[in-house]
């Protein structure tokens, strides 16, 4: 019974944490962009503008719902849900911290579901997020939306390949797809006696490839061709308003958060605190949040620093540079492992 | 509980499959197929094949169906809805073939169901252990390495053949 309660509690806490983190990220996006551009950013609602996401949410609820003429109505309504749900589902296997407690001899892990196919589960479910974008773009019956949806589908397929190949190298090194075991292995020993044995030191190329692929996978700058306001008005969400528009945004930010968490898990030892092996679970959780927050900051930092690519450059980069590099990475990893 | 879920997703898979052929709009057809794949993945999960379920979603739902949607949108097939029975005439000429394939499929399913007891007994006598990742890898990369690799080469050859054929057709049309 208490096991069941603990499970329900974990689901509620992690889900609420994800959604509120998405809200905080929208504020962080505006604050950091203001900081980079020497502005103040939103500072009217609450102290230092911290209540701005709440005000935004209320505003979205009271905006007019609008469905364009000629739109395929049920798909138009379904698309925002399809965009938000996969991003929220993937968080289930992320091990946020080590063992929290032991109930009746069963350890309670820091993830909602401790499954053996964690790594492949994340890729399978997060790949479904693109349906929301494609269908939203198609159902809107608008040329800008359609082009945005088309671009999203081509882009996601291209970069998912490299991403999965990088994960394959990690899985080959660890010998498991369970994300908790992958983090545990990174913390089991040390590198050269002083560095933690994180995968980022073993797979530097894989790390760089993976981080860049997460940008393409979440449709973020400099790869945000699904939106691309300078050529496509708003891309796939041109025709969306009110909470449906907000759902696309929540989905995008949730996907960014999950990808940050996944990078932390695969490459930075998850909840490990360097030089403190027996850290209690809440310290581990804090360490995890700090590491993931860095990648969230990176998403925003890059957005406000780099110009957008051209679309053909994006596809050429994905197929002619990233895919061969990721394949070579898998090959070298296999070679080293078999020696 | 598991039984109820099984019948529910089986029904879903059949309804989805019917939707693929009955839908007037190609995009709805793709979505129906997507629903069928999800129901199949759930059945794999219920049977204890976690990896197979994840691979099903990753490969079919995550990549191949996205490609289908991409092609449909690129050719703008969604623009004109096809009438429900416009291929009745074309069907009638191919009717013998349709019946033949239908009968063959029915026969295969019938034998599969009829011999399922045998298969179960064989599975209990010598478990294949494909339900764990290591066991599956052992089968694919050990026992059945050669057939597995050969079939992937066959798929590659088919993909290249399609590319060559499509290219030649377009080249001739251009001339």
Q: Is the residue at A33 inside a domain? A: no
Q: Is the residue at A8 inside a domain? A: no
What's the pLDDT score for residue B175? 44
What's the pLDDT score for residue B91? 61
Q: Which of A39-48, A247-256, B97-106 shows the lowest mean pLDDT across its residues? A: A39-48
* Chain B positions in Cβ-Cβ contact with residue A75 (cut-off 8 Å): 27
Give yes or no for residue B124 having a pLDDT over 80: no
Q: Is the residue at A162 inside a domain? A: yes
What's the pLDDT score for residue B1? 75
What's the pLDDT score for residue A325? 92
Question: How many Å lie between the alpha carbon of A254 and the closest alpha carbon of chain B?
Answer: 18
Q: Is the residue at A25 inside a domain? A: no
Which residue does chain A place closest to B50, by CA atoms? A117
Between residues A68 and A286, the one the model is more confident about: A286
* Chain B positions in Cβ-Cβ contact with residue A137 (cut-off 8 Å): 73
Q: Does B27 touch chain A (CB under 8 A)?
A: yes
Q: Is the residue at A186 inside a domain? A: yes
Between residues B89 and A51, the one the model is more confident about: A51
Query: pLDDT tens digit string along A318-330?
Result: 889 999 999 999 9
How many domains does chain A contain in total?
Answer: 1
Between residues B72 and B76, the one the model is more confident about: B72
What's the pLDDT score for residue B174? 47
- Report field, pTM of the whole predicted structure over 0.90: no
Instruction: State the average pLDDT over residues B116-133.
Output: 69
Q: Which domain holds residue A285?
A: 63-338
SS3 per-residue string spanning chain A: CHHHHHHHHHHHHHHHHHHHHHHHHHHHHHHHHHHHCCCCCCCCCCHHHCCHHHHHHHHHHHCCCCCCCCCCHHHHHHHHHHHHHHHHHHHHHCCCCCCCEEECCEEECCCCCCCCCHHHHHHHHHCCHHHHHHHHHHHCCCHHHHHHHHHHHHHHHHHHHHHHHHHHHHHHHHCCCCHHHHHHHHHHCEECCCEECCHHHHCHHHHHHHHHHHHHHCCCCCCCCCCCHHHHCCHHHCCCCHHHHHHHHHHHHHHHHHHHHHHHHHHCCCCCCCCCCCCCHHHHHHHHHHHHHHHHHHHHHHHCCCCCCCHHHHHHHHHHHHHHHHHHHHHHHHHHHHC
Q: Is the residue at A101 inside a domain? A: yes
Instruction: State the average pLDDT over residues A17-27.
Output: 89
Q: Is the residue at A4 inside a domain? A: no
Q: Is the residue at A239 inside a domain? A: yes
- Is this complex scored with an ipTM above 0.85? no
Mutate to test the interface with B, among A76, A131, A172, A338 (most CBs of B within 10 A): A131
Q: Are the beta carbons of B34 and A131 separated by less than 8 Å?
A: yes
Local confidence band at A223 (pLDDT 50, 70, 90 cut-offs): confident
What's the pLDDT score for residue A124? 87
């Amino acid at each position: 019974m208490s096991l069941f309660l603990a499970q329900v509690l974990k689901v509620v806490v992690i889900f609420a944490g994800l959604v509120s983190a998405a809200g905080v990220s929208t504020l962080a996006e505006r604050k950091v962009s203001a900081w980079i551009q020497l502005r103040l950013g939103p500072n009217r609602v609450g102290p230092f503008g911290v209540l701005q996401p709440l005000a935004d949410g209320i505003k979205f609820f009271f905006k007019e719902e609008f469905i364009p003429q000629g739109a395929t109505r049920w798909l138009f309504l379904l698309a925002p849900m399809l965009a938000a749900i996969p991003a929220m589902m993937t968080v289930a296997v992320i091990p946020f911290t080590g063992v929290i407690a032991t109930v009746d001899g069963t350890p309670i892990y820091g993830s909602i579901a401790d499954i053996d196919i964690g790594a492949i589960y994340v890729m399978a479910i997060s790949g479904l997020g693109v349906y929301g974008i494609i269908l939203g773009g198609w159902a809107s019956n608008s040329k800008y939306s359609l082009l945005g949806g088309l671009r999203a589908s081509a882009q996601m397929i291209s970069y998912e390949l490299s991403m999965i190949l990088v994960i394959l190298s990690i899985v080959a090194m660890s010998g498991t797809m369970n994300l908790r075991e992958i983090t545990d292995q990174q913390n089991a020993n040390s590198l050269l006696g002083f560095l933690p044995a994180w995968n980022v030191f073993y797979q530097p190329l894989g790390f760089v490839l993976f981080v860049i692929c997460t940008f393409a996978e979440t449709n973020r700058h400099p790869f945000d061709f699904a939106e691309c306001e300078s050529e496509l008005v708003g891309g796939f969400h041109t025709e969306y308003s009110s909470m449906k528009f907000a759902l696309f945004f929540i989905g995008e930010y949730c996907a960014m958060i999950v990808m940050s968490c996944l990078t932390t898990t695969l490459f930075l030892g998850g909840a490990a605190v360097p030089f403190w092996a027996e850290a209690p679970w809440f310290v581990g959780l804090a360490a995890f949040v700090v590491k993931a927050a860095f990648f969230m900051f990176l998403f925003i930092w890059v957005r406000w620093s780099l110009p957008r690519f051209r679309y053909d450059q994006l596809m050429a980069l994905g197929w002619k540079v990233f895919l061969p590099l990721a394949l070579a990475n898998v090959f070298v990893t296999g070679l080293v492992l078999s020696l | 509980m598991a039984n109820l879920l099984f019948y529910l997703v089986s029904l879903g898979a059949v309804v989805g499959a019917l939707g693929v052929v009955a839908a007037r709009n190609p995009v709805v057809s793709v979505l129906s197929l997507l629903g069928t794949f999800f129901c199949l993945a759930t059945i794999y999960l219920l049977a204890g094949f976690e990896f197979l379920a994840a691979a099903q979603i990753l490969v079919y739902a995550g990549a191949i169906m996205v490609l289908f949607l991409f092609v449909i949108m690129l050719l703008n097939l969604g623009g004109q809805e096809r009438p429900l029975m416009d291929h009745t005439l074309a069907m009638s000429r191919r009717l013998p073939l349709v019946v033949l394939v239908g009968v063959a499929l029915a026969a295969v399913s019938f034998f599969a169901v009829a011999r399922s007891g045998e298969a179960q007994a064989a599975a209990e006598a010598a478990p294949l252990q494909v339900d764990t990742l290591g066991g599956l890898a052992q089968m694919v990369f050990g026992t059945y390495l050669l057939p597995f690799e050969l079939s992937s080469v066959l798929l590659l050859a088919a993909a290249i053949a399609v590319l060559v054929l499509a290219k030649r057709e377009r080249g001739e049309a251009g001339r």
